[in-house]
Every structure is written in C-alpha cells, then in structure tokens.
C-alpha cells in the first residue's frame, strides 16, 4: 500500500471518521504518504454524523487531492452498489463496527454482512487490506471480536494472511489475549492535547484488539 499514489478507502460504520483523521494525521507526519485519497464512509445514521460529514467535506473543498463521500444506509444495502460501481477499495476499515453491529443487528445480520463483504472483496478488490479495530471482547461479553477470525477464515481461501494484535488493558486487572501484545499501550497523541478534551472522558491508554488482513 505504500506504493499507491491514490488510495481508495472504504470505512464501514464510519461514524465521526476517526480513521480519516488518523490517515490525515499520518500523512501530515509523513509517516504514510499518498498523493490522492478517496474516502467513502458508510453509516446507518445520517444524524448525528451528517453534520460532521458536511464539515469534513467543507474542510477538504479546497484540497482536490482528498475526496470524501458518505452514504447513509445499512452496509448490506450498500455492498451491491459498490459492486455495481466497481469501487476498488485499497483499504477497508471497520473501527468499532462489529461490536455495534452485533449488539443492534444480531448475529445473523453480521454473518450475512461478512459473506457479502467476502463476495465484494473476491470479485472487485481481491488485493485490498482490511483493518478491524474493536473492543477486546467476544460476542458473549458484549463485543464482536469473534468475527475478526470468521472473516479471516473466509478470506484465507483466497490467499489472504493476517496479523492479530491487542493492547494491555490498564483499565482492568486482566484482559483477553488475542494474537501478539503491543509492547506499549500509550496513546499516540500527546497527553496534554488529549487532556484538553477531558469533558469527553477520553481513555488514557489503548485497550482494543485488531486484526489486519492482507495479501503479501
């Protein structure tokens, strides 16, 4: 992906687009460079996210290198459109989607989604990378981490590899193991900046789990 001059990103359950801000931040820090970025965010909720999405579109108005578009619908209704339009995602992001999807949509709906997603990937973007980040809990405990490996198993037949990771959870005495543990759970951002937002009660360390599914 480092070689891509134009990056197509599909964010499923994009909400306030934290992933887009992360890409922007990495680009500004010259840690990850792309010349152009097309970002499609899909979310069930036009409100409250629509207002923020309009601000994001305004913010990028004078930057022809970054295009952000949004679609408000269930991802299961959007995948056929992505297939029809042959949107080739280089990167698919699901940031805290699966726990939410499982909680409100139920297992059947998530499994349908994963099958639809695998069909989309295999037929339209067989070299995409997928990044999933979510709370480090399985479905029976209010999370959706079981689905990380369900998706990987389905894609492993098409030559995908994976990397599983989790942070040490400083908020609890114990945490669940999932793949390798990062050497540090420090926030990437300067705590002085994070503290400016104390009224939102931000976490002081990382505690989530991730799977990165990719082709070599």
Ligand X SMILES: C[S@@+](CC[C@H](N)C(=O)[O-])C[C@H]1O[C@@H](n2cnc3c(N)ncnc32)[C@H](O)[C@@H]1O
Within positions 30 to 59, which residues make up the interface with ligand X, using CB under 6 A? 42-45
The answer to whether residue 179 forms part of the interface with ligand X (CB under 6 A) is: no
Cβ atoms of residues 53 and 17 within 8 Å: yes
Closest approach of Cβ 5 to ligand X, in Å? 26
Order across the sheet with 161-166: list the strands.
66-72, 36-43, 6-12, 91-95, 129-134, 209-214, 161-166, 180-181
Closest approach of Cβ 159 to ligand X, in Å? 27
The answer to whether residue 176 forms part of the interface with ligand X (CB under 6 A) is: no
Cβ atoms of residues 88 and 129 within 8 Å: no
Here's the x/- map for ligand X, 73-92, by CB under 6 A: it reads as -xx-----------------
Of positions 7, 8, 9, 15, contacts ligand X by CB under 6 A:
15
- What are the structure tokens assigned to 48, written together? 């409250």
Cβ atoms of residues 13 and 113 within 8 Å: no
Which residues lie near ligand X (CB under 6 A)?
Answer: 13-16, 18, 42-45, 74-75, 95-97, 100-101, 105
């Amino acid at each position: 992906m480092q070689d891509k001059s134009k990056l197509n990103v599909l964010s499923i359950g994009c909400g306030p687009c934290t992933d887009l801000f992360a890409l922007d931040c990495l680009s500004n820090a010259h840690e990850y460079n792309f010349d152009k970025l097309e970002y499609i965010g899909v979310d069930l909720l036009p409100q409250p996210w629509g207002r923020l999405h309009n601000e994001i579109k305004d913010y990028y108005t004078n930057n022809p290198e970054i295009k952000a578009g949004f679609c408000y619908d269930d991802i299961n209704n959007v995948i056929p459109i992505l297939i029809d339009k042959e949107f080739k995602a280089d990167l698919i992001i699901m940031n805290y989607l699966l726990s939410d999807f499982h909680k409100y949509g139920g297992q059947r709906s998530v499994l349908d989604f994963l099958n639809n997603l695998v069909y989309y990937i295999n037929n339209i973007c067989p070299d995409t990378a997928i990044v999933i980040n979510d709370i480090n809990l399985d479905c029976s405990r209010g999370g959706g981490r079981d689905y990380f490996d369900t998706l990987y198993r389905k894609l492993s037949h098409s030559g995908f590899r994976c990397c599983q990771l989790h942070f040490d959870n400083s908020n609890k005495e114990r945490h669940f193991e999932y793949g390798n543990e990062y050497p540090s759970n420090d926030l990437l951002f300067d705590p002085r900046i994070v503290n400016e937002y104390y009224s939102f009660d931000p976490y002081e360390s990382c505690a989530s789990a991730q799977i990165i599914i990719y082709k070599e």
